[in-house]
Amino acid sequence: MKLLRTPPSFLAILLLLVACGEDPLRDVTERNLTTREANPGTMGIGPPPPQIPWTCSIATSTEALAYHFYALGDQFFQGQDPAAEIVPIEYNNQGNPTRIKTYGGFFDSTRSVFSYDASARLRRLVRNGYHMINNGLNYTTTYSFVYHGTTSVTVSRVTTPSALWPPFDTGYTKLYLDAEGRIKEKREYLTSTDATAQYILKYAYNSAGNLSTILYIEPNEGQMTLARFDAYDTKKNLYKTNKVWQMLMEQYSNNNPTDFTIQWPGAEFKMRFTVQYLYNLPGYPISFDRERNDYYIPTGQWQYACCTVHSEMTYNCQVVLPNP
């Protein structure tokens, strides 16, 4: 793709703002851009600038970001008070996350530590947690990743409740990948010696490269649609900033879902989520509001709207300059 030429002075200003440690893109929302396109000259700055190639990484988040809670990484961002906590993320020189911390809520600690192999693939992840039901004791879960070519990944888990108890086996997960490197099937095993999966998830993608359905299968029991994604925006999916987030969150979609429905196995209700986003200039969400509506299956009625969640995230973004 041929890059459009951009005035050097404009690039210089952007680079200067990024270098100063502030996020100059945070207040440039989709609403601003739409206004400028519809009314050139609004606020004295005219239409938006030419398309610019960006590279971005998630810097902080204030809420758990998983769209369904069977994901490997469903709690990596979440602490005791997800609406209040600011979760900063540290990266290495190759752009991969190395540490997630938690500030706010009830504690101030390192949530997760990542390590990689010589090919820069995620090899080990140690996640620290906190269980009130276990007398408020901390626990640690270690995930180990073994890659089988480019077609599958085995993720084993060992949990250590505290210094008072020995580690115990919490099973393993097998991820099967399609030709594009996306998860197409996930098998979950309760213990490291199990040969039969407790359940299987199958992921289907549409022609736009977005996740369309997640099928839940219990061997010898039956199957059901766990999640259905009915609508997406046209902007960049926040997990596309890094392949590690895509694998852990099991989210390879090109865009961000705006309308999706989840039904847990055995539940008598469905949960429909609608999401509204604001974006930065490169096109990644800087905040979203997710509202939940419950559909009670026995009566065939929508019960109520509840549980609106507001989340914010910041990014470190850089302009990718063309070679001279």
Helix (H/G/I), strand (E/B), else coil: 44: helix
Cα–Cα distance between 208 and 189 in angstroms, integer? 32
Strands of the chain, DSSP E: 54-61, 87-91, 97-102, 109-116, 122-131, 137-148, 152-160, 168-177, 183-189, 199-205, 211-218, 222-232, 257-262, 269-279, 285-296, 301-319
Q: Look at residue 278 and tell me if it is in a domain.
A: yes
How many other β-carbons are positioned within 10 Å of the β-carbon of residue 167? 13
Q: Look at residue 324 and tell me if it is in a domain.
A: no
Helix (H/G/I), strand (E/B), else coil: 294: strand
Domain assignment of residue 311, given as a range: 8-319
Cα–Cα distance between 55 and 13 in angstroms, integer? 17
Q: Look at residue 52 and tell me if it is in a domain.
A: yes
Cα–Cα distance between 38 and 34 in angstroms, integer? 6
What is the residue-level pLDDT of the chain in tens, covering all 324 positions? 433 433 433 333 333 333 333 443 343 343 343 333 333 333 444 555 556 788 999 998 876 544 444 566 544 444 334 444 667 889 999 999 998 876 554 455 677 899 999 999 999 998 876 544 444 556 788 899 999 999 999 999 888 876 667 777 888 999 999 999 999 999 999 988 999 999 999 999 999 999 999 999 999 889 999 999 999 999 999 999 999 999 988 999 999 999 999 888 888 788 888 899 999 999 999 998 888 888 777 777 777 666 777 888 899 999 887 776
Secondary structure element (H or E) that encloses residue 247, with its range: helix 243-249
Q: How many residues does the chain have?
A: 324
What is the pTM for the complete model shown?
0.76
Q: Look at residue 128 and tell me if it is in a domain.
A: yes
Map tokens 């914010």 to a residue. Answer: 312
Cβ distance 269 to 144 under 8 Å? no
Cα–Cα distance between 57 and 315 in angstroms, integer? 5
Q: Look at residue 3 and tell me if it is in a domain.
A: no
How many other β-carbons are positioned within 10 Å of the β-carbon of residue 141? 18
Which token pair is 89?
């993320």
Residues 94-133: tens digit of each pLDDT: 999 998 876 554 455 677 899 999 999 999 998 876 544 4
Nearest to 63 by CA among 290, 262, 246: 290
Q: Look at residue 126 and tell me if it is in a domain.
A: yes
Q: Look at residue 24 and tell me if it is in a domain.
A: yes
* Number of separate domains in the chain: 1
- CATH code where residue 224 lies: 2.40.160
Q: Look at residue 227 and tell me if it is in a domain.
A: yes
Residues 161-175: tens digit of each pLDDT: 766 677 778 889 999
Per DSSP, what are the bridge partners of residue 57? 316
